[in-house]
Structure 1
Amino acid sequence: MTWEPGRLDDQAHLSEGDPGGMLPAVAASAAHVRTGYRAAVEAQVDRLGAHGRPRAIVVAGMGGSGIAGDILAAVAGSGAPLPIVTLRSYQLPGWVGATDLVIAVSGSGDTEETLALATQAVRRGCTLLGVGPSGSQLQAIATQASAIYVAVPINGQSRANIWLLTIPLIVAAAAMRLVPADADLFERVAKALEDMAHRCRPSSDSFVNPGKSLAMDLAESVPMIWGSSPVAAVAAYRLACQLNTNAKYPAVYGELPEAGHNQVASLDGPLAEYDIFADTTGRTVRLVVMRDVEEHPQVTRRREAALRLARERDVRLTEVTAEGVHPLERIASLIALGDYASTYLALGYGVDPTPVSAITELKARISQ
């Protein structure tokens, strides 16, 4: 597989190289926000606010579903009056009990880790909220427990339906007065995603298309992606995961200030050396910094100092800034750009962004 940037402006290739329709799926994000909101309202998730706040919220999910919990925690922010924890495992911690809310999220509705946690939650007497497709095993567990279930119309890979799976959690949090969110906010987010879809559309040339431009920055490098706030850090994690699954591409992510205590040392390492005349293609670091307006002042100082270090060492650098006012708007802007970039990177390498053969094979092997 070789990187050919000309593919990004070849409309025939972008269509033929994406038979699973990952680009159209990313472009449908705005519709997914609106649909997820309607589904949550119709499922009456506001009932969760009738009995007061839980002691803690535990989100159970894997892969493209589990990140819904990370987004919820980032949007709620450090001022949230309760812990919001995402679990990606088979076992609930011992402290989870009847006063806690467990939100089980599964794009397939049959993710074994998520089903295991949902079942344990019911046995322990936790309040359960399920989010996934209609007619799934997860819905059966929720129905049997008389729990609220938000049925969303999942189509294709879970990672392409992030907003269908996430928005019901934000609606639930708003009902419990953990997040200031109403119909107007969700419409603003949808319109912002429509704007991003227009700017990143396949027919838009690389030099004016932010999704294609970021893909070109990432190509032939080892991306080290940092977020400068909890919101930006979730987007950094999402981009790394999307590079893994869409482009089948390795990436490292981190959050400032922690990245300044370990990953920054990579700027002095062998992969940071970049010589345009040397044969080091694909072996040099690209530092990608996702910035947010709500940085801690000390984080801002660390970010600026780290960027100076990178420039002094001629490390290739890309900065991306969140757009919007509300945390949900800002995280959506960063995630949308990363989703487009990872898809365009795949197509630039001639990789079909939809299949995840290695993941499918791994699941098959452990099921035997």
Structure 2
Amino acid sequence: MLDNPEKIHSVDKSNMLGVISSLPSQIERSKMLVTGLDVPRRIPSSIVISGMGGSSVGGELVRDWLSNQINIPVLVNRTSGLPRFADRDTLAVTVSYSGNTNETLSCAQHALRKGCQMIGITSGGRLEKFCKSNDFPFVLLPPGMPPRGAIGYLFSSVAYVLQEMGLMRVEEDLQEAKSVLEEAQKGWTVNIHTKENTAKRVAKLMEKRTPIIYGHTFYNGVARRWQTQINENAKTMAWSSELPEMDHNEIEAWAVDSRGKKFLSIFLRDRHENSETRNQVEATMEILGKKSKTQEVWAQGRTVLSRMLHNMYLGDYVSFYLAVLKGVDPTPVRAIMEVKKKVYSS
């Protein structure tokens, strides 16, 4: 199935593969979308990135990437309000690809009332109108994509906003990451046979097992991205967890519960891991390997960012090929739309 391009395209009726393959070009275009934006110039004491679903993942990647690069705390907020500490010295980045996410719009209202510095990132909708009417700067993204498919825009736009504010330099790292992704995707395309295609092979491992993706340090947001892409694209149960936290609770279940054989444990690895992280991962894999199949996924790239995005991008392709194996069109998210309709029409 995975080595028959015609069958793959017959399942992918809405062309999710085309959306996934556009990630490197999204990184390239994001700079043009942000350059010249009238961003706040006051150095913030904190940064709160608010968003839901696919629109929040970019903020999570920024947070993980910047954790050791800037002295300003970065919080990813997945609620309908800002934290109590948010004030005029807080940079509130409100991210909604559609522009109509109720929780994010509520956060924008909170930012206005609290006097925060605010920037919107959206493709239009009510968030664009809110920013215009309140004279907040905003990045206007190209419309027409599933929010999760716009991850390159959502992530890179936040990064370039921080560069425009003078908080850090991101361009060199983003360009290097773009080159790494362009090279990597050549080995994951539909025309590359399963034997030589890491994305197809990992998807095959998930065909009859429930995946749990384990991140650490810079890879916790990447692990969540794997989970949510598998959930939305392949319509398949998946979970994510993180080290070392899981070794203070979850590991006990793995040591005893016989149901572990139903799972596939995927560990996101980095050849630049420090010795403590490496020892933690390997000790954990040894215990999990007694009850479930384990699989390591190794990042490639010179910089932390390129390695993060490389492993994230592999997960996008894995989720696509798993959808093909399940025989489901990756793009429609009918259950999500049904819940939104019931919640917001009441």
Q: Same fold (TM over 0.5)?
A: yes
- Aligned pair partner of 1:244 in 206, 209, 231: 231
Report the 3-state secondary structure (helix = DSSP H, G, I; strand = E; otherwise coil) of the residue aligned with 1:8: coil
On the 8 A contact 2:119/2:136 being kept in 1, the answer is: yes
CA distance in 2, matches of 1:117, 1:314: 43
Residues 293 and 102 (structure 1 numbering): CA distance in 2 closer, same or farther, change over 3 Å?
Answer: farther
Q: How far off is 1:310 after superposition?
A: 3.0
The superposition leaves residues 122-174 of structure 1 with CA deviations (integer Å, 9 ceiling, x where unpaired) of 1211111111114x211111122222111110332100110111101111223
Match of 2:89 in 1: 99
TM-score by length of 2: 0.95
On the 8 A contact 2:254/2:291 being kept in 1, the answer is: no
Report the 3-state secondary structure (helix = DSSP H, G, I; strand = E; otherwise coil) of the residue aligned with 1:34: helix
Residue type matched to 1:188 in 2? E
User: Is 1:224 matched up with 2:212?
Assistant: yes
CA distance in 2, matches of 1:85, 1:139: 23
The superposition leaves residues 232-284 of structure 1 with CA deviations (integer Å, 9 ceiling, x where unpaired) of 111111000111111111112111100112222332312224xxxxxxxxxx1
Q: How far off is 1:177 after superposition?
A: 4.9
Q: For residues 182-193 of structure 1, what are the structure 2 equivalents within 5 Å?
A: 182=171, 184-193=172-181
On the 8 A contact 1:155/1:161 being kept in 2, the answer is: no
Residue type matched to 2:14 in 1? G
User: Is 1:109 matched up with 2:109?
Assistant: no
Q: For residues 208-219 of structure 1, what are the structure 2 equivalents within 5 Å?
A: 208-219=196-207
Q: For residues 262-281 of structure 1, what are the structure 2 equivalents within 5 Å?
A: 262-268=249-255, 269-273=257-261
TM-score by length of 1: 0.89
Match of 1:20 in 2: 14
Residue type matched to 2:258 in 1? P
The superposition leaves residues 300-349 of structure 1 with CA deviations (integer Å, 9 ceiling, x where unpaired) of 221111122233x1521110112112222111101100000001101111
Q: Which moved more, 1:197-206 or 1:356-365?
A: 197-206
Report the 3-state secondary structure (helix = DSSP H, G, I; strand = E; otherwise coil) of the residue aligned with 1:104: strand
Match of 2:151 in 1: 162
The percentage of aligned residue pairs carrying the same residue is 27
Tell me, which stretches of 5 or more residues in structure 1 are unaligned? 1-6, 274-283
User: Is 1:357 matched up with 2:334?
Assistant: yes
Residue type matched to 1:121 in 2? A
User: Is 1:86 matched up with 2:73?
Assistant: no
Match of 1:146 in 2: 135
Residues 177 and 327 (structure 1 numbering): CA distance in 2 closer, same or farther, change over 3 Å?
Answer: farther
Q: For residues 1-368 of structure 1, what are the structure 2 equivalents within 5 Å?
A: 7-44=1-38, 47-48=39-40, 50-51=41-42, 53-134=43-124, 136-182=125-171, 184-229=172-217, 231-268=218-255, 269-273=257-261, 284-311=262-289, 313=290, 315-368=292-345
CA distance in 2, matches of 1:25, 1:103: 25
On the 8 A contact 2:30/2:160 being kept in 1, the answer is: no
Report the 3-state secondary structure (helix = DSSP H, G, I; strand = E; otherwise coil) of the residue aligned with 1:317: strand
On the 8 A contact 2:49/2:76 being kept in 1, the answer is: yes
CA distance in 2, matches of 1:340, 1:118: 33
**RMSD, matched Cα:** 1.6
Residues 244 and 259 (structure 1 numbering): CA distance in 2 closer, same or farther, change over 3 Å?
Answer: same
Tell me, which stretches of 5 or more residues in structure 2 are unaligned? none
Residue type matched to 1:185 in 2? D
Residue type matched to 2:190 in 1? P
Report the 3-state secondary structure (helix = DSSP H, G, I; strand = E; otherwise coil) of the residue aligned with 1:225: strand
Report the 3-state secondary structure (helix = DSSP H, G, I; strand = E; otherwise coil) of the residue aligned with 1:85: strand
Report the 3-state secondary structure (helix = DSSP H, G, I; strand = E; otherwise coil) of the residue aligned with 1:108: coil
Q: How far off is 1:115 after superposition?
A: 0.6
